[in-house]
Structure 1
Amino acid sequence: MKPAPFEYVAPTTLAEALDVLDTHGDEVKILAGGQSLGPLLNLRLATPSVLVDINRVPGLDRIEVDDGHLRVGALVRQRAAERSAVLGGAAPLAVEALHSVGHIGIRNRGTLAGSIAHADPSAEMPAVLTVLGGSVRAVSRAGDRTIPAAALFQTYFTTVLEPEEMVVEVLLPRRPVRTGHAWLEFAQRHGDFAIVGVGAVVTLDEDGRCRAARVVCTGVDSVPFDASEVAATLVGSPVDGDACAAVADAVARTCQPGTDVFADASYRRRLIRSLVPRALQAAGRRAQGEADGE
């Protein structure tokens, strides 16, 4: 199929892009990488009257560290982020998860910010933003605001972003000392959306016990499923097999996964019980390796 007719606008400044958004509101879609939007247009699941292509807007393709945060511009391609030494040093979980996003051809065009704004609950980047405690900066003609991940996602493919707002950068906190990470997922084939994905972050104290732990799952809710309150039960304990299995069991009992053509709810819970302990223990080992100077 082909897209429904639309007006194509290619602004060369951020102000011009915001003018288009302010004028057309709900009738406009933003084109950055187009790897999610393109199929929606072709299937006519999205029928905007105006398409605003932001690829000519300068200054949105940078990865920078500023004030203790990593700033990833809205036009940073996933492949560039995946290969960034800056991102790998400050937020290695993001790089690890990016390896599982589609295929290289998709990552060459798709943007990290675009995946987050698309808000697919099976996608990796919304979960990464959530487990790292990140946020997005959105701007409009009325001003700008920073939206934490916990407040960003509402339901399937829906965020709190207003029609006249545009995400200009993703903000990720720098990795604390003695902190390890892990991303694991299960899909029918590499590059497919995961049936279940798990991101874990573990910080150890000087005695090698858990000081903080976070876990977020994909594919089990209408938004990234933040199980960090459950993971926090590890605090003060070694990150060992029994403790991690108990966390996984609690996460599986807490979530309410749905059933679709790929898996039913019980199978998704089995995947959680398998992936969560492995992710937590892998994150714990990496945190210990950092503490030991490895």
Structure 2
Amino acid sequence: MRRIIAALPRLAVLLAALAGGSVAAQAESALETLSTGDATRGWEAVGRLNLGTHSFCTGALIAPDLVLTAAHCLYNRETGALIPAQGIEFRAGWRNGRATAYRNARRAVAHPEFIYQGPDRFDRVAWDLALIELDQPIRLPQVSPFALSTPPRAGEDVGVVSYAHDRAEAPSLQESCRVLKRSVGTILMNCAADFGTSGAPVFTMRNGRPEIVSVISAKAALNDQPVSLGALLDGVADLRAALATRETTPAKGHMIRSGGAKFLRP
């Protein structure tokens, strides 16, 4: 996937608000490639979302037939048009050319407050959430959907399982990275993000197992250090309601272009 320079005047404000001045550097763990069956055990509900013929994101099952991902993944970044549901495929546990399960999408819905503004705008991170309804549920004993949990606190350790353009054939686990700041609907983290990581689940260990607390939305640089932005999960209830009412087209989905500071979207 090609590198895109993003122009996002309001994200600069968002980063400043989240940072609240200086953000102390926190150590994060390296990415670990989950290349074997033993390594991927327990993470099979994370998968690669193939979007049309030229792009992919990361997604995670939160029900046997529902995949949580980022809203901007549902759009063609060249045209701003929605990718048809029939062009979306979820490959659960995709690793080295094989998946634990393959499913096509039946419907897909972005949060109704999300406005797709092209690859150069990221000022609606808090609403960068989408649900994909699969054409058939995945009911396999080794694929257990993840529970959703309450927002992490600033300073809390989290983890991420994701795919990316340079590690597209197996998931990678970053077992420990940190929430640097939390704002309304959004968290700032030092978790790794790159193209393809969009939609990746951010986990915390609660109740003895990993639970999703956020979804990777964008990457940026703060004080010359790489950071990532995650959408919190308040909008998931709205997405479930949209699917229940058969609303599958984002109410405000259109493209707006503008200039500004330089950042990057995964």
TM range (shorter): under 0.3
TM-score (norm 2): 0.28
Question: What TM-score do you get using the length of structure 1 for normalisation?
Answer: 0.26
Structure with higher strand content:
2
Higher normalized helix content (fraction of residues): 1
Larger radius of gyration between Structure 1 and Structure 2: 1
